[in-house]
Amino acid sequence: MRLLVGLGNPGREYAGTRHNMGFRVIDEVAARNGVTLSGRRFHSRTGRGRIGGQDVLLMKPQTFMNASGTAVREALAKTGLGPSDVLVIVDDLDLPVGRLRMKGSGSSAGHRGLTSIAGALRETGFPRLRLGIGRPADRSEVIDWVLERPTRAELAILDRAVTAAADCVEVFFAEGLERAMAMVNGLDLAAPDDA
Protein backbone atom coordinates (compact mmCIF):
# COMPACT_ATOMS: atom_id res chain seq x y z
CA MET A 1 0.00 0.00 0.00
CA ARG A 2 1.02 3.63 -0.60
CA LEU A 3 -0.15 6.87 0.97
CA LEU A 4 -1.31 9.98 -0.91
CA VAL A 5 -1.66 13.08 1.29
CA GLY A 6 -3.04 16.40 0.10
CA LEU A 7 -2.51 19.32 2.48
CA GLY A 8 -5.00 22.06 3.23
CA ASN A 9 -7.19 23.51 5.96
CA PRO A 10 -10.59 22.04 6.88
CA GLY A 11 -13.79 24.06 6.99
CA ARG A 12 -15.93 26.05 4.57
CA GLU A 13 -14.04 29.29 5.17
CA TYR A 14 -10.88 27.74 3.68
CA ALA A 15 -12.48 25.85 0.80
CA GLY A 16 -11.20 27.13 -2.52
CA THR A 17 -8.30 29.12 -1.04
CA ARG A 18 -4.80 29.05 -2.47
CA HIS A 19 -3.57 27.08 0.55
CA ASN A 20 -5.95 24.20 -0.21
CA MET A 21 -4.49 23.08 -3.52
CA GLY A 22 -3.49 19.76 -1.97
CA PHE A 23 -7.11 19.07 -1.06
CA ARG A 24 -8.22 19.95 -4.60
CA VAL A 25 -5.80 17.45 -6.14
CA ILE A 26 -6.93 14.71 -3.74
CA ASP A 27 -10.54 15.37 -4.73
CA GLU A 28 -9.64 15.18 -8.43
CA VAL A 29 -7.67 11.94 -8.05
CA ALA A 30 -10.47 10.42 -5.95
CA ALA A 31 -13.15 11.35 -8.50
CA ARG A 32 -11.16 9.91 -11.40
CA ASN A 33 -10.46 6.65 -9.62
CA GLY A 34 -13.82 6.05 -7.98
CA VAL A 35 -12.57 6.65 -4.44
CA THR A 36 -14.99 7.96 -1.82
CA LEU A 37 -13.39 10.04 0.93
CA SER A 38 -15.86 8.96 3.58
CA GLY A 39 -13.43 7.42 6.07
CA ARG A 40 -12.32 9.13 9.28
CA ARG A 41 -8.90 7.85 10.28
CA PHE A 42 -5.58 9.37 11.28
CA HIS A 43 -7.15 12.79 11.97
CA SER A 44 -8.09 12.85 8.27
CA ARG A 45 -10.81 12.29 5.72
CA THR A 46 -9.69 9.12 3.98
CA GLY A 47 -10.53 6.82 1.11
CA ARG A 48 -8.85 3.77 -0.34
CA GLY A 49 -8.59 2.64 -3.94
CA ARG A 50 -6.43 1.45 -6.81
CA ILE A 51 -4.36 4.09 -8.57
CA GLY A 52 -1.80 3.20 -11.21
CA GLY A 53 -2.13 -0.46 -10.28
CA GLN A 54 -1.34 0.15 -6.61
CA ASP A 55 -3.44 0.09 -3.45
CA VAL A 56 -3.46 3.71 -2.23
CA LEU A 57 -4.85 5.36 0.89
CA LEU A 58 -5.86 8.96 0.12
CA MET A 59 -5.80 11.44 3.01
CA LYS A 60 -6.97 15.00 3.60
CA PRO A 61 -5.67 15.83 7.10
CA GLN A 62 -8.17 17.74 9.23
CA THR A 63 -5.51 18.97 11.66
CA PHE A 64 -5.01 22.31 9.88
CA MET A 65 -1.94 22.86 7.75
CA ASN A 66 0.59 23.55 10.50
CA ALA A 67 -0.11 20.24 12.27
CA SER A 68 -0.25 17.96 9.20
CA GLY A 69 2.61 15.89 10.56
CA THR A 70 0.37 14.49 13.30
CA ALA A 71 -1.88 12.83 10.71
CA VAL A 72 0.97 11.51 8.56
CA ARG A 73 2.95 10.15 11.51
CA GLU A 74 -0.10 8.30 12.85
CA ALA A 75 -0.93 6.86 9.42
CA LEU A 76 2.60 5.54 8.97
CA ALA A 77 2.69 4.10 12.47
CA LYS A 78 -0.60 2.25 12.03
CA THR A 79 0.02 1.00 8.48
CA GLY A 80 3.70 0.10 8.84
CA LEU A 81 4.61 2.23 5.83
CA GLY A 82 7.75 4.37 5.63
CA PRO A 83 8.32 7.96 4.50
CA SER A 84 9.27 6.88 0.97
CA ASP A 85 5.80 5.30 0.64
CA VAL A 86 4.13 8.72 0.98
CA LEU A 87 3.42 11.32 -1.71
CA VAL A 88 2.53 14.74 -0.28
CA ILE A 89 0.79 17.41 -2.39
CA VAL A 90 1.09 21.07 -1.39
CA ASP A 91 0.75 24.63 -2.64
CA ASP A 92 3.98 26.61 -3.18
CA LEU A 93 4.44 30.38 -2.88
CA ASP A 94 7.85 30.25 -4.54
CA LEU A 95 6.56 28.77 -7.78
CA PRO A 96 4.63 30.99 -10.20
CA VAL A 97 0.97 30.19 -10.75
CA GLY A 98 0.76 27.29 -13.17
CA ARG A 99 4.12 25.69 -12.38
CA LEU A 100 4.46 22.26 -10.83
CA ARG A 101 7.53 20.70 -9.29
CA MET A 102 8.07 17.19 -8.01
CA LYS A 103 10.97 15.96 -5.89
CA GLY A 104 11.78 12.78 -4.03
CA SER A 105 12.96 14.61 -0.91
CA GLY A 106 14.24 17.98 0.22
CA SER A 107 13.67 20.88 2.56
CA SER A 108 10.29 22.32 3.43
CA ALA A 109 11.30 25.67 1.83
CA GLY A 110 9.31 27.38 4.58
CA HIS A 111 6.05 25.52 3.90
CA ARG A 112 4.58 24.92 7.35
CA GLY A 113 2.74 21.77 6.33
CA LEU A 114 5.92 20.18 5.00
CA THR A 115 7.81 21.44 8.06
CA SER A 116 5.26 19.73 10.30
CA ILE A 117 5.54 16.44 8.41
CA ALA A 118 9.34 16.50 8.34
CA GLY A 119 9.39 17.25 12.08
CA ALA A 120 6.91 14.50 12.92
CA LEU A 121 8.77 11.93 10.81
CA ARG A 122 12.22 13.28 11.73
CA GLU A 123 13.24 13.16 8.11
CA THR A 124 12.71 14.84 4.74
CA GLY A 125 12.96 11.75 2.54
CA PHE A 126 9.40 11.68 1.27
CA PRO A 127 8.23 12.58 -2.27
CA ARG A 128 6.31 15.83 -2.69
CA LEU A 129 4.44 17.50 -5.52
CA ARG A 130 4.21 21.30 -5.34
CA LEU A 131 1.66 23.45 -7.17
CA GLY A 132 2.65 27.07 -7.68
CA ILE A 133 0.34 29.75 -6.32
CA GLY A 134 2.78 32.67 -6.74
CA ARG A 135 3.49 35.43 -4.23
CA PRO A 136 1.60 38.65 -3.55
CA ALA A 137 3.13 41.89 -4.80
CA ASP A 138 3.55 42.94 -1.16
CA ARG A 139 5.59 40.07 0.27
CA SER A 140 4.56 40.98 3.82
CA GLU A 141 0.97 39.89 3.14
CA VAL A 142 1.71 36.18 2.65
CA ILE A 143 -0.70 34.84 5.29
CA ASP A 144 -3.64 36.74 3.83
CA TRP A 145 -2.57 35.73 0.31
CA VAL A 146 -2.57 31.97 0.90
CA LEU A 147 -5.92 32.12 2.73
CA GLU A 148 -7.64 34.09 -0.05
CA ARG A 149 -9.38 32.65 -3.09
CA PRO A 150 -7.52 33.02 -6.39
CA THR A 151 -8.55 35.60 -8.94
CA ARG A 152 -10.59 34.42 -11.91
CA ALA A 153 -7.49 34.48 -14.14
CA GLU A 154 -5.46 32.52 -11.60
CA LEU A 155 -8.27 30.03 -11.11
CA ALA A 156 -8.30 29.13 -14.80
CA ILE A 157 -4.59 28.31 -14.59
CA LEU A 158 -4.92 26.50 -11.26
CA ASP A 159 -7.71 24.34 -12.68
CA ARG A 160 -5.27 23.16 -15.36
CA ALA A 161 -2.61 22.65 -12.69
CA VAL A 162 -4.95 20.42 -10.67
CA THR A 163 -5.63 18.31 -13.77
CA ALA A 164 -1.90 18.03 -14.53
CA ALA A 165 -1.14 17.20 -10.90
CA ALA A 166 -3.73 14.41 -10.90
CA ASP A 167 -2.17 13.06 -14.12
CA CYS A 168 1.21 13.19 -12.39
CA VAL A 169 -0.07 11.30 -9.34
CA GLU A 170 -1.39 8.52 -11.56
CA VAL A 171 1.94 8.30 -13.40
CA PHE A 172 3.83 8.32 -10.09
CA PHE A 173 1.96 5.26 -8.86
CA ALA A 174 2.03 3.48 -12.22
CA GLU A 175 5.55 4.27 -13.43
CA GLY A 176 7.52 5.76 -10.53
CA LEU A 177 9.05 8.99 -9.34
CA GLU A 178 11.48 9.63 -12.21
CA ARG A 179 8.76 9.38 -14.84
CA ALA A 180 6.43 11.63 -12.84
CA MET A 181 9.20 14.22 -12.35
CA ALA A 182 9.96 14.23 -16.08
CA MET A 183 6.28 14.79 -16.78
CA VAL A 184 5.76 17.93 -14.67
CA ASN A 185 9.08 19.57 -13.84
CA GLY A 186 9.42 22.48 -16.24
CA LEU A 187 5.76 22.41 -17.23
CA ASP A 188 4.27 25.92 -17.38
CA LEU A 189 0.49 25.84 -17.42
CA ALA A 190 0.27 29.63 -17.49
CA ALA A 191 1.77 29.70 -21.00
CA PRO A 192 -0.67 30.28 -23.87
CA ASP A 193 -1.98 27.08 -25.44
CA ASP A 194 -0.52 27.98 -28.81
CA ALA A 195 2.95 28.76 -27.43
* Structure confidence by residue, pLDDT tens digits, 133-154: 998 887 667 888 888 899 999 9
pTM assigned to the model: 0.94
* Structure confidence by residue, pLDDT tens digits, 47-96: 999 999 999 999 999 999 999 999 999 999 999 999 999 999 999 999 99
Verify whether residue 43 is a known catalytic residue: no
CATH architecture of 2-184: 3-Layer(aba) Sandwich (3.40)
* Structure confidence by residue, pLDDT tens digits, 181-190: 999 998 889 8
Pairing of strands 39-41, 44-51: antiparallel
Distance (Å, rounded) from C-alpha 9 to C-alpha 60? 9
In SS3 terms, 59-118 reads as: EEECCCHHHHHHHHHHHHHHHCCCHHHEEEEEEECCCCCCEEEEECCCCCCCCHHHHHHH
Question: Where are the chain's structural domains?
Answer: 2-184
Average pLDDT, the chain: 93
Contacts of residue 134, Cβ cutoff 8 Å, sequence gap at least 6: 93, 95, 96, 97, 154
pLDDT for 138 equals: 74
Which among 4, 8, 14, 19 is annotated as catalytic?
Answer: 19
